[in-house]
Structure 1
């Protein structure tokens, strides 16, 4: 039903001075939903979520080398000295043994320390099962809220995005789904749980022991407070590892 495409890429290098022919390596972009999607987790309101599929529909992706380093909280846009653009749309399933590759292209040598990416309709399709106590609730949740992020440097156990001549470097788009549903391993007062919508408001919309909703249904049937919390949580899902992004579509 859903097709998967590997992005073709256009490389644009902005050079500040003349010099020898530029050296290139390869930049590969991956999308990662973290271990929660493959191992499951408990929401802030006690539901155990297991995902069978988490389809993400991506639009254009652009990786940047910036000077000075880009701070997404600054309200500015990246000041690029080199850019690699991946213009093609694709749909990937984040529930996989390995994070799916969403683009690979020649790239100029240097540190790609910023990335911008956007989603297309449907942004997310989540298919799985929620359990709490004696209740088992299969679910399919479709969210089509358009999202557009600008992100700074990847933050994680190792640095990413550093391209060397004739070598391959990886960069990652990361989605934190605990921002939507919260994390039962954290106290209720934790910031992640205060901001997350949780699963209870969605479970209340189930019919016939099954939850199947799209965003129009959520807007119509959730309370205004819960729907607004969902929208705000969606804006905070995008990361680069643990590095932050700014949502700029609105």
Structure 2
């Protein structure tokens, strides 16, 4: 696992450079010159505005004070970004997302993107019927998202957009395998056994998963449950899925 220490690179100075590669390494069609790909990381409304109570099956409302995502690589055709960069995606952007950087790529159309995430830190609170629970969790679950399904067209001397989308609601799924999971917070709230209002990693490690659906995974405690869900957060360009 990675060290909890993360390195934040100033966005203003971030420059993503493509690695040299053979033409066969790119899935671009008829490349002609190079264009610029602006890469963003976006948590959508569920991160920037929070998860409302009516989206949760048990009535909790979730608000995030921080949602830090460590991006360790992005690969588009033969171009690759490999500078470890931590980006905070909780502040509102009006739907734009937070720019990670710019990547120079061969002009053409790409139908597959790979990227990898490292440390993820989430902090915030949940509120229900006058009860508030806070959390500040750091997850060391390095995950590679391969063959992400999207279509990115880059024209020579033009700029295009690529979005690494983070689905925060996956943290609160009640199943690892259901195609239509419910969003729940009750099991996590109940883990606050000392009733100090804060749900700690130690309390989650001591709490059993109970009725949460682990599928075929050997998961017994709530911290391991959250780690398994963290590995599913990454998508591409909104709802695009990855392996």
Pair in the same fold by TM > 0.5: yes
Match of 1:78 in 2: none
Structure 2 residue aligned with 1:192: 181
Matches within 5 A, 1:122-141: 123-141=119-137
Partner residue in 1 for 2:197: 210
- Residue 234 of structure 1 is aligned with which of 225, 230, 235? 230
Deviation of the 1:112 alpha carbon = 2.5
Mapped to 2, the partners of 1:190 and 1:48 lie a distance apart of 23
Q: 1:51 aligns with which of 64, 82, 85?
A: 64
Distance (Å, rounded) in 1 between the aligned partners of 2:135 and 2:37: 36
How far is the alpha carbon of 1:220 from its aligned partner?
A: 4.3
* Distance (whole Å) between structure 1 residues aligned to residue 31 and residue 71 of structure 2: 33
Cα pair distance change 1:92/1:164, threshold 3 Å: same
Q: Tell me the residue number matched to 2:99.
A: 101
Residue 182 (structure 1) shift: 3.8
Provide the secondary structure at the position in 1 that maps to 2:75: strand
- The Cα shift of 1:39 comes to 1.4
Measured in 2, the distance between the counterparts of 1:116 and 1:24 equals 19
Distance 1:175 1:204, change over 3 A: same
Residue 82 (structure 2) pairs with residue 36 (structure 1): no
Normalised to the residue count of structure 1, the TM-score between the two structures is 0.72
Cα distance 1:38–1:58, how it changes in 2: closer, same or farther (>3 A)?
A: same
Gapped regions of structure 2 (runs ≥ 5): 25-29, 210-219
Instruction: Label 1:96 to 1:125 Cα distance change in 2 as closer, same or farther (>3 A).
Output: same
Alignment of 1:67-146 (within 5 A): 83-98=78-93, 99-120=97-118, 123-146=119-142
- Check conservation: 1:10, 1:87, Cα contact below 8 A: no
1:148 & 1:203 partners in 2: Cα distance? 30
Give me the TM-score of the superposition, normalised by structure 2.
Answer: 0.74
Deviation for aligned residue 1:25? 0.8
- Deviation of 1:110 after TM superposition, in Å, equals 0.8
- Alpha-carbon distance, 1:21 to partner: 9.4
Question: Deviations along 1:17-68, whole A, 9 cap, x unmatched?
Answer: xxx994011012111111111111133332100111101112122123xxxx
Q: Quick check: 1:147 aligned with 2:143?
A: yes
CA contact (8 A) 2:38 2:103 kept: yes
Residue in 2 aligned with 1:174?
165
